A and B are shown apart, each in its own frame.
Chain A
Amino acid sequence: MLTPEEIDDIRHAIATLPHKQAAAIEALAIVQRHRRWIDDQALRDVGEHLEMSVAALEGVATFYNHLFRRPVGRHVVRLCDSVTCWMLGGDALRSGLRATLGVDLGETTPDDRFTLLTIPCLGCCDRAPALMIDDDLHTDLTPGALAGLLRRYD
């Protein structure tokens, strides 16, 4: 079941569009914002709400990088793996994150605190290397700065 808050947020998204199916991506993002990820039941509920088939909605959900069909931790680390960050130490950051978190790319720490992912170019190449944790951008990073940075996210 979608919650009243989710239904209200989805209603606002539909209001800016000529028909409700056009809000499919936003509706999935809204559900994810409330629940961290989109499980099978949530996908069916959104489909029912927008009068869309599960198959059509699944096609949308699996197309986009930031819609999660698998559980993620409380915080999502997105490490830039594009060209300038690669050149300026992105691989060292990746190794540092692996060592600090004890998980590999695509995995979640056993305490459910962090999920580690990569992301294409974050659009701050003059301050590379960079990563995002949740909504926060962190730039000019070194592996040595990671432990202190991660401590800020419970």
Chain B
Amino acid sequence: METPLTGRIRADGEVVTLAEYRRAGGYEGLRRALGMTPAEVQAEVKASKLRGRGGAGFPTGIKWSFVPMGPDAPRPKYVVCNADEMEPGTFKDRLLMEGDPHQLVEGMIIAAHAIEASVGYVFLRWAYRTAERRLRRAIAEAYEAGLLGRDILGRGVDFDLHVHVSAGRYICGEETALLNALEGKRANPRAKPPYPQVSGLFGKPTVVNNVETFVNLPHILARGAQWFDGLSTLSADGGTKLYGVSGRARRPGLWELPIGSTAREILYERAGGMRDGYRLRGFLPGGASTDFLTEAHLDMPLDFDTPMKHGSRLGTGTMILLDDRTCPVGMNANLQRFFAQESCGWCTPCREGLPWVSRLLDAMERGDGRPGDLEKLAHHAHFLGPGHTFCALAPGAAEPLQSGLRLFREDFERHIAERRCPYGGSA
């Protein structure tokens, strides 16, 4: 099985240097891309069917195709890497940046060429200190080697790459909020349209992609769209995906597998199954803002389209396990406290609804739940849902809430009826 994204990452935790990266075929994808026109690079990526790995799964080549091209397009254009990984339960981009930062740098230069961008930023979360150090070093190495800056590899392409370390807020992961943060402002999301491809950073055409999306590009360019699509025979989607497990598994961790691998394979074959004495009750397939799935969904391909048919989403692909000795109400209380804290406060359902939900769940967990609370929670889950807010934060918060209420209803009811947490929890 091929692991193009993680194959070079060293087991001893040290970083892959420029020399090592090049010996393993690094920057060959860039060399090939720079021999192609931007339109040809876009066509290759479109043909690969690469979809955005940040969670939304939008086709990367199509995202790029909305950028105005040619001599009359507004300039400078920007390429931005969303490396804000703050979705609870998610730890995939950390590995990619700490282990093999040149792969990200190369991917960003390829994307820059594809949309004729001359400036790039990596928007990096504060907590990733090791990733920051290694990424800055990789960028310096790339400048030194003529891979960044003016006239890259003598092909007449210019691209400057900078790192912005976020001052920290979950909302910065939303791409238009991220752009406001890069402009030095409060990270409130922007109205769309206009989309960033037309009017993004500083009002110029901008593409924002996730770390895992960028690191696929060198391989697609070096080995071709068809090879990439063939990496997985388990799904209509192509390529590999980083899948993770956290919670009470025997061996929590992260694995690169063909996209469309099942939760059963990931949990039982990779993570060693549940710890002794614990049974699986459910899981959030891709971070805090995805709907709970259960044992009934273990054999479903975890690609972009299949979980949607079962009321959930692939999200970031890093699953959080709910075991039979953890309180589903307490778990939801923890999740909603996070969303309430991290709401930017722009829209009413999010600013007012999330703290209300959080207080209701905390009270329930303490034994102070009241008849009617479940109806109130369901009401909020509806108003937090799609169509009522500017961005996806509140709809994301509604996902574990609405599915938790549906799948673990008895637990919620017992908290109210018995006026205590049956698992011995307290908020």
Interface, chain A (partner B; CB < 8 A): 16-18, 21-26, 28-29, 59-60, 63-67, 78, 81-84, 86-88, 119-128, 132, 135-137
Contact = CB atoms under 8 A, between A and B. Distances in A.
Given A82-B89, A120-B86, A125-B91, A67 B167 contact: yes
B254 A126 contact: yes
A132 B128 CA distance: 11
B127 A123 contact: yes
Given A26-B164, A83-B320, A86-B334, 11 more contacts: A63-B186, A63-B187, A64-B167, A64-B168, A66-B167, A81-B338, A82-B88, A82-B334, A87-B247, A120-B342, A137-B130
Contacts of B334: 81-83, 86
A54 to B, nearest CB: 15
Contacts of B125: 123
B328 to A, nearest CB: 11
Interface magnitude class on chain B: 35 or more
A22 B253 contact: no
Interface stretch (B43-51, B144-152, B177-185): B177-185
A84 B184 CA distance: 32
Interface string B143-167: 0000000000000000010101111
Contacts of B244: 125-126
B331 A83 contact: yes
A126 B338 contact: no
B60 interface: no
Contacts of B288: 82-83, 121
Contacts of B170: 120
A121 B253 CA distance: 16
A124 B90 CA distance: 8
Contacts of B252: 125-128
A83 B90 contact: no
Contacts of B246: 84, 125-126, 128
B94 interface: yes
A26 to B, nearest CB: 7
Given A18-B202, A23-B184, A119 B127 contact: yes
B309 to A, nearest CB: 25
Interface in B75-122: 85-91, 93-94
